Copies of this chain bind each other. A is one copy, B any other.
């Protein structure tokens, strides 16, 4: 099975904790031993947020901020690579072709961001499209897709299953504001829709959940079905 895992920055590196990164590496190694071909795309997390805040104060424009964020995601990718040790492309690929090439050769590929104006959520969806993945997992700090923001709306209800098309409909209004309550970026949702990939949105703060979801389909997040 070919799987792409998007590990949000808030999941992998809210702060720099080697144990948390190690735990994610352990899951990837375990999935790899079970025969999965794997790509991972990691976000920026706390360090990215700090750098971006400081750069904004210094007058950087939005594209410059995105570039700084991308650089941090690539360092985070190096951290996960260091934790994986072997069986992994030792350099974070900068485009889908290099990542796909690594996966074809039997390595795990760990990417960060690719270009300004595009989140790592969208990168993960495009990588999954490119390698014709069987499954795309979003390991986020939310535990699935809700019909409203569960942080502010006590009546928010989680979807167990959504079609990709419904996902776009649900995400679109949520991604309207800067304070983005959407668990997955809208562009990512549209890429999922156009490719018809099977996807899961789940709470990745305990990485063991990713493993169970991939290997046994056992999770309490949201299934996105083609």
Contacts and interface: CB of A to CB of B under 8 A. Distances in A.
Interface of A: 16-18, 21-22, 25, 47, 50-51, 54-55, 57-64, 67-68, 71-72, 74-75, 78-79, 82-83, 85, 89-91, 95-97, 100-101, 104-105, 114-118, 122, 125-126, 129-130, 132, 168-169, 172-173, 176, 178, 186-187, 191, 194-195
B116 A96 contact: yes
Ranked 6 nearest A-B pairs via Cβ: A60-B82, A63-B130, A18-B57, A58-B83, A117-B126, A58-B82
A125 B63 CA distance: 10
A1 B47 CA distance: 36
B54 A79 contact: yes
A47 B100 CA distance: 27
A51 to B, nearest CB: 6
Contact of A17 (B54, B85, B187): B54
Contacts of A168: 176
Contacts of A21: 54, 58
A61 B117 contact: no
Contact of A64 (B54, B61, B116, B130): B130
Contacts of A64: 78, 82, 90, 130
A114 B85 CA distance: 24
A61 B130 contact: yes
A62 B96 contact: no
Contacts of A105: 105
15 contacts: A18-B57, A51-B79, A61-B132, A61-B195, A62-B195, A63-B126, A63-B129, A63-B130, A64-B78, A68-B79, A71-B78, A105-B105, A116-B130, A117-B126, A172-B172
Contacts of A100: 90
Nearest to A169: B176
A14 B79 CA distance: 21
Nearest to A117: B126
